[in-house]
A and B are shown apart, each in its own frame.
Chain A
Amino acid sequence: MSDNDKNLKDMWNKAGNFMGTPDYGSETIERFISKRSNSTAQYVKKMMFIDIAVKSLVVVVLAIDIFLYFKTMNVLAVCIMAIILLVSLIFFQFKMLNQFSQIADYAQTPKEKLASMLTYLRSRFFTTLLAISSTYIFIFLSGMLLYFYATYGQVRPLDGQDIIVFSIFIIFGIVFNFIVNQKQVAYQIKHIEACLSDLNDNTLPLVLSNIETQRKQDRINKVLVLLVLVFGFVLLLVVFKNIGFLVR
């Protein structure tokens, strides 16, 4: 060991005496570990978990709608289709949540963690966000049916102006939700890329090529979730106009 190395280590070893760090007791540490995490990984997990909970709640409301509109064939069909779509999305999101929980595991090496996190955020996260944003349509659909029943006792057909206003609200809600969440992780993505590049281990190019492969694999999921979004809109229009491709 060179003299300089020794000197640096000597200085470091003296650090404990000078920096005045608090000495936490086990009770304080026990309190710390009972708190909630504020990491980005926890933020993403919480966002996915809350969305699954909201979707489940919407399924319950749609089941109530089925009970209320039992004699109205087209509303019944809309509710059943919405439930099928939502249940599929819930399963899909559970799968994503499990995948992400493994990625967010801090016991991996920093290189593995940064690489897997970047791969997820740059390939699968877009689909996750789409699935989360689609909840908005189903909240609107189930809530609207409940509102119509409570107010009019039936589905009230809406005129063109109403439909435009409602559609703008829904699209704004979806886009806003999507952008806010994406912005939240964009900074994290930049930070991870910088860290991987600082590692100087040719990791970043490898991860970027892996992201491309994963993106290709995820294309089908993206298309399916987009179809759910479009189909959700169609269902909503059916309720709005009280028309049907289905016979009343």
Chain B
Amino acid sequence: MKQKQNKKAFSELIEKNQAIIHKITMIYANGRVDREDLFQEICLQLWLSYPNFREEAKFSTWMYRVALNTAISNIRKSKNSFSFKPLRETDRIPDNSNNEKENVQLLYRAISKLNRIDKAIILLWLEEKNYEEIAVIMGTSKTNVSVKLVRIKRKLEELVSNTVKQES
């Protein structure tokens, strides 16, 4: 009975914070089926790790940590025939494009080209986490985060800068 109540309370908590998980599944999985599978796996790992959650850490920090751990470790073969088109080096949004949806998709495609660790770091940075928070979540040093972020951002900017300039 108590377990059932806990599950319900936990599910409501996840429901409120599901945007975090969705963003992670968007960059770590291709296609609807894989994203749904990863979403379920993250929810399950969050539930299994919940007894170890210590109140001294922020809930969102803990949630990012478990969710990213799950996404990084998840190496099953894709079940989808449909996926984001892989990004080629020559891909650029046309100069006259004004389509925000296309720009966002391009950003996701650019991120999907990064390795799993870089994806996690850029995602945390885009989610407004500061260097120290990113270092705590990833378990690495602040210096390493800043060095890596410079490189990752440069890579991303190369791919999306034309579109962003047009928007602004």
Contact = CB atoms under 8 A, between A and B. Distances in A.
A35 B40 contact: yes
B18 interface: yes
Given A8-B153, A11-B103, A198-B116, 11 more contacts: A8-B156, A8-B160, A12-B107, A16-B22, A24-B15, A30-B11, A35-B44, A37-B44, A109-B139, A110-B68, A200-B147
A159 interface: no
Contact of A201 (B120, B128, B140): B140
19 contacts: A7-B161, A8-B157, A8-B160, A8-B164, A11-B164, A16-B23, A21-B25, A21-B35, A24-B18, A26-B14, A29-B14, A38-B76, A106-B69, A107-B52, A110-B117, A110-B137, A113-B69, A195-B116, A201-B141
A11 B107 contact: yes
B19 A109 contact: no
A105 B138 contact: no
Interface stretch (A64-72, A122-130, A186-194): A186-194
Contact of A15 (B39, B68, B107, B167): B107
Contacts of B126: 8-9, 12
Secondary structure type dominating chain A contacts: helix
Contacts of A107: 49, 52-53, 62, 65-66
Contacts, number: 170
Contacts of B131: none
B140 A111 contact: yes
B45 interface: yes
B73 interface: yes
